[in-house]
Amino acid sequence: METIHTIDWMRQVAADARAKERVVGLVPTMGALHEGHLSLVREARRHCSPVVVSIFVNPTQFGPSEDFTKYPRTLETDRAELAALDVDYIFAPTPEEMYPAGFSTGVVVDGVSERLEGRSRPGHFRGVATVVLKLFEITQPRFAFFGRKDAQQLRIIQRMTSDLNLGIEVVSCPIMREADGLALSSRNAYLKGDERRAATALYRSLDAICGQIAAGECNPARLVAAMRSVLDSESGIKTDYAEIVDAETFEPASGLNKTCYAAIAARVGSTRLIDNALVEPIRGPIIGRISGPDGAPSGEQANGELRVTL
Amino acid sequence: METIHTIDWMRQVAADARAKERVVGLVPTMGALHEGHLSLVREARRHCSPVVVSIFVNPTQFGPSEDFTKYPRTLETDRAELAALDVDYIFAPTPEEMYPAGFSTGVVVDGVSERLEGRSRPGHFRGVATVVLKLFEITQPRFAFFGRKDAQQLRIIQRMTSDLNLGIEVVSCPIMREADGLALSSRNAYLKGDERRAATALYRSLDAICGQIAAGECNPARLVAAMRSVLDSESGIKTDYAEIVDAETFEPASGLNKTCYAAIAARVGSTRLIDNALVEPIRGPIIGRISGPDGAPSGEQANGELRVTL
């Protein structure tokens, strides 16, 4: 495994791999790796060689009052974990390498970027789309792997990749959860004392509507009320949004007849967390179950025609 | 020569060429080809094989009250001219192929896009940068050729290419002019009767300051006044802007000690035309002269330390 810090060298390595018809797989991360990231790396390893994992805490996707400076940076631990998974290259550029003086280009995805996270974090998705496009150009992957935890980010990357004809396959990977349901996130490291337990309210509210949908409830307003009821009953939590949205546009869903997300953002103390459940109309029987690490809650239930994946 | 209408096939052809280590050259055009475009194609032919010329009248770079529908479309004549220059591929997609339903991604270049043309034509450069990035992704060129007539567009494409790590060399080619100095443009076809003669005022105003600079004038305000004086004395012309701007930022220049453009936009009747002169500090003697077609004005003069290229 080689750690690369410069754009020129990373591009050269990727170009050489492509010239030999090898299939480059990219897993873009901000480091502070957890089992969620590692599941993406394992998926990349199954399909691609070489596997490139980028580690870059991207300043342009943080707002001025957000946690850019305190975001956990654990390069040595990350490196050991990636070596154990037989990763070929870590691409870890500096901010100066990625954004030299005079940098002024941005990629924007209208519509979906303006909803939910985009409304709460102005400029966030421009920062994300721009850095991901740069990483795509530098590492020239055939496949790129993203977690469904950041569902709106995933949708924006898919939209950008298709609109700009990038010729890259964007692979969506399941959410990894702790045994009590908390979605894995590098920001979970911020949770102090009782906050860790309070944080499970996000999962519990999604799990609650999972049960309701299985029992036949299809009305978005009533499902949103049910999510809010769980969140509001947890005093340590301040909800930013809890919505049922169309999985393509991220506009509020009028029903569950198209694929939707139940999406939540909430602040636990000073830590902002997000989570979601995927709600899909299905035709055939459900085959298999998505399992978290250590026998954590899986989260597939069906009410005959709907599948909910936590 | 093959004319390709679909993105998938164009991408396949380009990928095959790259896999054989051939050097793809792209000349992006909106068709209605004139000697300016053909000079780009000849330059591409000298350095690249295969040469791809795209012909696409891009709707997103026209404002709602601009000339998208009446923009000249001359595909059969264009095709004959390109065949005579031994072009390998014409890429001529439909608007629906380039912008399918749901398209919502844009590329923006802050700063330089907001000046001159950007101020007069809101959204124009977002349309240009986005379509050029798409064309780059589809045709995967190593070199792409642009005319200096659209100097601000050229700068924006260079900035985008560098900021997004596209790994493409953007080649700037000289302005081609008629015998009386009028810069070649597909929009010259709109000029009626006396407008054709009036239109030379753009060139004449640049030529006037060319003489002044050669005589030692270095004050941008006085040079702008000289340009305006020529433009204002031509009754058939309405000036949009006439400025001396820094060649990197397109901000007003405070002197001629850095590379600048003298840039003009003006309306002749209902036809909007642009032109510019490149003003560069030089150290050594001037080597060679840039010549237009048919012995048209070349336009290099030196005042010892400055070179002006019309």
Q: Which amino acid is at A243?
A: E
**A144, β-bridge pairs:** A26, A170
- Alpha carbon distance B208, B224 (integer Å): 11
Q: What residue ranges do the domains of chain B occupy?
A: 2-173, 186-309
Query: In the 8-state DSSP scheme, what is residue A32?
Result: -
Report chain A's mean pLDDT, rounded to a whole number.
93
Mean pLDDT, residues A79-99 taken together: 98
pLDDT tens, position by position, A107-157: 999 999 999 999 999 999 999 999 999 999 999 999 999 999 999 999 999
pLDDT tens, position by position, B16-47: 999 899 999 999 999 999 999 999 999 999 99
The answer to whether residue A290 scores a pLDDT higher than 50 is no
**CA of A10: which chain B residue's CA is closest?**
B165
Protein fold of A186-309: Pantoate--beta-alanine Ligase; Chain: A,domain 2 (3.30.1300)
- Alpha carbon distance A199, A211 (integer Å): 20
The answer to whether residue A284 scores a pLDDT higher than 70 is no
Select the residue from B11, B164, B169 to test the A interface by mutation, using most A Cβ atoms within 10 A. Answer: B164
Query: Is some CB atom of chain B closer than 8 A to the CB atom of A21?
Result: yes
Higher pLDDT, B47 or B290: B47
The answer to whether residue A310 scores a pLDDT higher than 50 is yes
pLDDT tens, position by position, A251-274: 999 999 999 999 999 999 999 999
Query: Is some CB atom of chain A closer than 8 A to the CB atom of B20?
Result: no
SS3 A278: strand
pLDDT tens, position by position, A177-199: 999 999 999 999 999 999 999 99
Could you tell me what percent of chain A has a pLDDT over 70? 93
Q: Which amino acid is at A212?
A: Q
Determine whether the interchain pair A165/B109 forms a contact, defined as Cβ–Cβ distance below 8 Å. Answer: no
Q: What pLDDT does residue A292 have?
A: 47
Q: Please report the ipTM that was assigned to this predicted complex.
A: 0.93
How many angstroms separate the CA of residue B97 from the nearest CA in chain A? 11
How many angstroms separate the CA of residue A164 from the nearest CA in chain B? 5
Query: Is some CB atom of chain B closer than 8 A to the CB atom of A95?
Result: no
Catalytic residue status for B37 = yes
What is the full DSSP assignment across A134-192? HHHHHH--SEEEEEGGGHHHHHHHHHHHHHTT---EEEEEPPPB-TTSPBP-GGGGG--
pLDDT tens, position by position, B181-237: 999 999 999 999 999 999 999 999 999 999 999 888 999 999 999 999 999 999 999
The answer to whether residue A201 scores a pLDDT higher than 90 is yes
Superfamily of domain B2-173: HUPs (3.40.50.620)
Q: What is the pTM of this model?
A: 0.94
**Alpha carbon B40 to its chain's center:** 10
The answer to whether residue A89 scores a pLDDT higher than 70 is yes
Q: What pLDDT does residue B18 have?
A: 92
User: What Cα–Cα distance (Å) separates residue A46 from each residue in A126, A148, B13?
Assistant: 31, 19, 29
